[in-house]
């Protein structure tokens, strides 16, 4: 007798209620490699709500020259999304729009006249290249700190040139940089190396924030599956994150 085995569809569990706020996602439509339309953004926001988040800060890419976004335009588009989310009754509180700023060849010029969209009113979320770190990163981070900004480095577990056992990651911590891991790294979404490093960082006490980095419905589906992961549930029970302060 021929038959097919079907994978049981997992329902979302509200395990991320312990965090309260997702502070890293790309749901302003059509401004970067994230959501492509309002409908997709609304679907993703519903998933965030279903897995336990009560608040969200959306953080589009600012990356020269790939995503040369303008802060004022991002604010306008964010407000359009917020109105639509309220109209659709999504039920998650949209508490602000930040940015994910790539430290790249255009970043030094941005520092001359900073207009950063801040996470929680005080943090600048930055990212490095996934391939190699740009020279002068430390100096630019220091310049930001001297201007009064707190710096969060997005998903350090994903950079192949950063390791818990190496000196570079420790230098960044000693410089006062906060680390934000991606929740999906804990489930292997970005590969086993990123997963392993994320858990190592947690064990070392080097993680202050956790974000979903949700880009689209594929990420949202992965987040639903992750919400059924018992190991991730234990991480959220064991560790304290600063998300709840946002």
pLDDT in tens, 184-213: 999 999 999 999 999 999 999 999 999 999
Q: Note the pLDDT of residue 1.
A: 42
Please enumerate in sequence order all residues whose Cβ is within 8 A of that of 98, keeping only pairs 6 or more positions apart, or say none. Answer: 23, 57, 58, 59, 117, 118, 119, 120, 123, 125
Contact between 43 and 217 (Cβ < 8 Å): yes
What percent of the chain stands above pLDDT 70?
97
| 10 or 75, greater pLDDT | 75
Q: Note the pLDDT of residue 5.
A: 54
Token pair for 211: 């974000």
Across the range 24-37, mean pLDDT stands at 98
Q: Note the pLDDT of residue 132.
A: 87
State how far the Cα of 23 lies from the Cα of 92, in Å rounded to an integer. Answer: 13
- Give the DSSP per-residue string, 27-82: -STTSSSS--SHHHHHHHHHHHHHTT--EEEE--EEBTTTB---HHHHHHHHHHHH
| pTM for this entry | 0.95
pLDDT in tens, 160-175: 999 998 899 999 999 9
Contact between 101 and 127 (Cβ < 8 Å): yes
Q: Note the pLDDT of residue 42.
A: 98
> Is residue 9 pLDDT above 50, yes or no?
yes
pLDDT in tens, 49-89: 999 999 999 999 999 889 999 999 999 999 999 999 999 99
Across the range 9-34, mean pLDDT stands at 97
Contact between 43 and 35 (Cβ < 8 Å): no
> Is residue 2 pLDDT above 50, yes or no?
no
């Amino acid at each position: 007798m021929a038959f097919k085995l079907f994978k049981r569809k997992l329902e979302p569990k509200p395990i991320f209620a312990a965090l309260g706020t997702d502070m890293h996602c790309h749901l302003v439509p059509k401004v970067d490699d994230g959501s492509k339309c309002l409908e997709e953004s609304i679907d993703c926001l519903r998933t965030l709500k279903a897995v336990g988040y009560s608040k969200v800060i959306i953080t589009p890419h600012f990356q020269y020259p790939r995503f040369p976004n303008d802060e004022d335009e991002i604010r306008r588009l964010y407000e359009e999304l917020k109105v639509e989310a309220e109209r659709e009754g999504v039920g998650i509180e949209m508490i602000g729009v930040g940015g994910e700023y790539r430290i790249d060849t255009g970043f030094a010029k941005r520092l001359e006249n900073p207009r950063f969209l801040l996470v929680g009113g005080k943090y600048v979320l930055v990212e490095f290249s996934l391939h190699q770190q740009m020279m002068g990163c430390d100096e630019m981070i220091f310049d930001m700190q001297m201007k009064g900004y707190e710096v969060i480095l997005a998903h350090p577990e994903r950079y192949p040139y950063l390791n818990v056992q190496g000196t570079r990651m420790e230098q960044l911590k000693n410089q006062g940089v906060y680390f934000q891991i991606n929740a999906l790294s804990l489930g292997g979404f970005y590969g086993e190396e990123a997963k392993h490093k994320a858990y190592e960082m947690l064990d070392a006490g080097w993680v202050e924030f956790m974000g979903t980095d949700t880009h689209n419905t594929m990420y949202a589906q992965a987040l639903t599956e992750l919400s059924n992961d018992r190991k991730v549930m234990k991480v959220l029970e064991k560790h304290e994150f600063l998300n709840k302060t946002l």
